[in-house]
Amino acid sequence: MPPGVYSGDNLITWGRNNSALGDGPFCEAWKANLQNDADHTILWRRYVLACAGYHCVHLNGDFVECGVYRGTGIKTVMDYLGGRAFPKRFFGYDTFDYNPVPGHAFPGQEAGLYEEVISRFDGYPQVRLIKGLIPESFTQGLPPAISYLHIDLNSAEAEIAVLEMLFDRVVPGGIVILDDYEWSGVYRVQKVAEDAWLDKRGYRVFPLPTGQGLVLKR
Ligand SMILES: C[S@@+](CC[C@H](N)C(=O)[O-])C[C@H]1O[C@@H](n2cnc3c(N)ncnc32)[C@H](O)[C@@H]1O
């Protein structure tokens, strides 16, 4: 990309600093974890997660991702923040081997994916990957306090279930990232449901140009 220009993930900007590309440790973590074409395009989205992680690692509470797929989101953040020495537990919840959202199966979501993702985290004992349907799978284990919560399920119903179960566990100053919040079209139902849920509790989502939404817990 020419200096100052960003183009990817339905986002075109110019005259910007492209801070992600100036952050050497992030670029290293990002490149080390690229697995497919989609991973290349979502650099800015990943940097939002990395910066949220950088903030949350200083708070009480563990990290949680709902919707893990191959674990690239988790591993990029962990590798940015110490890799094997990452100082928190990181809980990841997914069905892994199939996608319960109709029409949303990703390449490789078949028997064996869970084991593949587990082996990707060899040497990362902080990671707990919990296989099963959210929210039922939360009975297999949940951290009592959460500082970082990334919700990426492509389903309004499941994402609201996560908010119901986990939002109160997010510590003051903690961050919730809603991956699809600012995407329109078929994703818009998520924003509509999340706005209604959060409005009742006096929260407004920061809509990000990456398509994500950010909630700062108090
Ligand atoms: C977009 S992918 C997650 C990508 C990942 N966060 C990343 O950054 O690379 C969405 C995932 O959510 C999972 N998922 C959707 N609904 C779910 C549910 N109710 N319970 C468990 N997993 C679910 C799918 O199986 C899929 O792997």
Instruction: Kindly state if the Cβ of 212 falls inside 6 Å of ligand 1.
Output: no
Nearest CA residue ID for atom 23, ligand 1: 94
> Is 0.90 exceeded by the ipTM?
yes
pLDDT for the residue numbered 3: 81
Instruction: Kindly state if the Cβ of 216 falls inside 6 Å of ligand 1.
Output: no
CA of 24 to the centre of ligand 1 (A): 29
Q: Which atom of ligand 1 is found nearest the CA of 99? A: 25
Nearest CA residue ID for atom 22, ligand 1: 94
CA of 29 to the centre of ligand 1 (A): 21
CA of 201 to the centre of ligand 1 (A): 26
Q: Which atom of ligand 1 is found nearest the CA of 74? A: 8
Q: Hey, what domains does the chain have and what are their CATH numbers?
A: 6-216 (3.40.50.150)
* Closest among 174, 180, 182 to 206, alpha carbons compared: 182
pLDDT for the residue numbered 57: 98
pLDDT for the residue numbered 2: 75
Q: What is the mean pLDDT of each run of 10 residues along the chain (218 residues)?
A: 89 97 98 94 97 98 98 98 98 98 94 98 98 98 98 98 98 98 98 98 98 98
CA of 151 to the centre of ligand 1 (A): 9
Instruction: Kindly state if the Cβ of 190 falls inside 6 Å of ligand 1.
Output: no
